[in-house]
Amino acid sequence: MTLQRVRQRGVLHLIAVIPLSLFLFDLKLWGALAGVLLITGTAALTRRWWLHVASLLTAGLIAYSAGYRIEFLTNPEGGFFYLTPWSWLITLGWIGAVSQGVWVLGQLDPSGRLLTKVLGISGGALVLIALLQGQLLGVLLLGALLGLVLELRAHAVPPERWSRAVGYGLALAAIVGLVKATASVALLAPLIALGLPLTGTLSIVYSQRLTWLEEFTIGRVPALVLLYLVSAYVSVVAFLATRLEPGVLAWAGGATAVVGAGLLVWTLMRLPQTAVNAKRFTLFGTPIDCVTLDAAVQRVESFLGVRPAALVCTPDTTAILRAQHDQRLRAVYERADLVTPDGTGIVWAGRLLGAPVRERVSGIDLLEELFSRGRTFKIFLVGARPGVAEGAAQKLRERYPHLQIVGTHHGYFRPDENERILRLINQAQPDMVLVGLGVPRQELWMLQNRARINASVLMGVGGCFDVWAGRLARAPLRWQRLGLEWLYRVVQEPKRVIRVSAIPVFLGQVLFIKIARLLAE
């Protein structure tokens, strides 16, 4: 170890020890130290989640016994709201929420850099508030925590061993004398704003929610740091607002808006252009072919008679959203031979982002245009409820007599029946297999069995069989031209309202990217 490294670590030791030595006489400190040792010791000895929860609850009870208690809340109109009967429960809840939230941040970035930055930002805001309140104990405790984090980082100790303990210390520092409302804005509001559950078991799920940012080189770490920076600033201004005159409060609010807008613009300016070329563009990681209905039909016709089978997918807006966090579904779209924009939202997004998307190409429109051209080929239908595929086949024979429907099978089959279905398909020797199992099951099934099916085209068709069989009616042409076919489907199937409720999220993300591109130009 170099002399410079020894000196650096010596400084870190002093940063960690000096604040503690200044108030060792305070009994509350011993309670805090006991809780920290219990939490860190458990983290070092075991990975069983229930033991970590038990140690955290025990540490919370130790802190409560030592005097760290949330016994009242300030009434904005004057006076206090006393919480005496529920003080212990609220205190444990606060300690658990902050500790677990800090631990999740450590899980998102095992290097510890994200956690150090977040603690520096949030801790700095809390220190400022503590100084304004004259709470020396809170300042010293926060200083000790900062020194401890730097010391642990210097020794390359994984965050999973100390993040809960540091979160525990932050929670106690807030209880000592800081305003819990502003502390919660600085520490927890960013987690809640991003939909981050304060439980370790869902941290991996959350880590996939920001994948749409990574497509535009905004990683999780910069996004979280930016959000914590804005949140810490807002928490300080909110605290000051309770002690300022109305005129000064207006200036503080204006400053918050200006700084927040500046940070947003700074972030947006860092975004590059979305991936677009003349034939295909990528939307949130999913490739979309820029084809018209006629061009899409020609592509499918070119696949006929060729082996191995070509994959044709027609994702709508909700499928694009799902593919953001479903890597298996996104992998199917990436490996598909043709991906058409089956949704007005996708067409709108493509045009807004500069992609040469001319029109919506739905799966049912593509197939009906293909069938109407009179070319003879064999088709096998797989999917929908029992009897629906047979009904669809009968209607198709009546409407397109030249088509050869060589077989059908419903979509309610077990995994152990897959071999039998593959034999049925191959014995029928179809040119095209239409798969209506719903997203993402149909896409995964096609990719999994692509090499084992002797056909030219595998195409996911969603609910086409129900429409052909007469169970569902297509939206009138006027609704389709207005881009409201999705609304017509919701009226027919109210359960679809859950799926379409995600569309505003999609539109918001697209607008975010558009603003970024305008600022970058």
Asked if the structure places residue 337 within a domain, the reply is: yes
157 in Cβ contact with 148 (< 8 Å): no
Asked if the structure places residue 516 within a domain, the reply is: no
Give the residue with greater pLDDT, 214 vs 496.
496
Residue ending a domain, choose from 246, 269, 292: 269
Domain of residue 202, residue span: 3-269
pLDDT, tens digit, 9 for 90 and up, residues 254-265: 565 555 555 554
pLDDT, tens digit, 9 for 90 and up, residues 93-129: 878 877 777 777 676 666 777 677 767 766 666 676 6
Amino acid at 163: S
Mean of the per-residue pLDDT values of the chain: 75
> Residue written as tokens 């075991």?
46
Are residues 203 and 94 part of one domain? yes
Asked if the structure places residue 487 within a domain, the reply is: yes
The predicted structure's pLDDT at residue 506: 78
Asked if residue 341 has a cis previous peptide bond (ω within 30° of 0), the answer is: no
pLDDT at 339 over 70: yes
Are residues 294 and 421 part of one domain? yes
Are residues 227 and 308 part of one domain? no
Over residues 375-388, mean pLDDT: 95
Separation CA 150–CA 124 (nearest Å): 14
Are residues 265 and 358 part of one domain? no
Question: DSSP of 180-238, one letter per residue?
Answer: HHHHHHHHTHHHHHTT--SSGGGHHHHHTTTHHHHTTT--HHHHHHHHHHHHHHHHHHH
CB atoms within 10 A of CB 85: 8
Cα distances (Å, whole numbers) of residue 8 to 149, 155, 225, 243: 14, 11, 26, 40
pLDDT, tens digit, 9 for 90 and up, residues 52-65: 888 888 988 888 88
Over residues 231-251, mean pLDDT: 55
Separation CA 278–CA 371 (nearest Å): 28
Asked if the structure places residue 509 within a domain, the reply is: no
382 in Cβ contact with 425 (< 8 Å): yes
Are residues 362 and 216 part of one domain? no
Asked if the structure places residue 275 within a domain, the reply is: no
Are residues 357 and 263 part of one domain? no
Q: How many domains does the chain have?
A: 2
Are residues 110 and 82 part of one domain? yes
Are residues 173 and 42 part of one domain? yes
Nearest to 119 by CA among 87, 155, 164: 164
Burial (Cβ within 10 Å: 0-12, 13-18, ≥19) of residue 39:
buried
pLDDT at 456 over 90: yes
Which residues is 276 bridged to in the sheet? 281
Residue ending a domain, choose from 216, 245, 269: 269
Asked if the structure places residue 514 within a domain, the reply is: no
The predicted structure's pLDDT at residue 147: 72
The predicted structure's pLDDT at residue 280: 86
Are residues 172 and 287 part of one domain? no
> What are the start-end ranges of the E strands in 80-123?
80-82
Separation CA 24–CA 36 (nearest Å): 15
Asked if the structure places residue 515 within a domain, the reply is: no
What stretch of H or E contains 338?
Answer: strand 338-339
Give the residue with greater pLDDT, 103 vs 133.
103
CB atoms within 10 A of CB 75: 9
Asked if the structure places residue 517 within a domain, the reply is: no
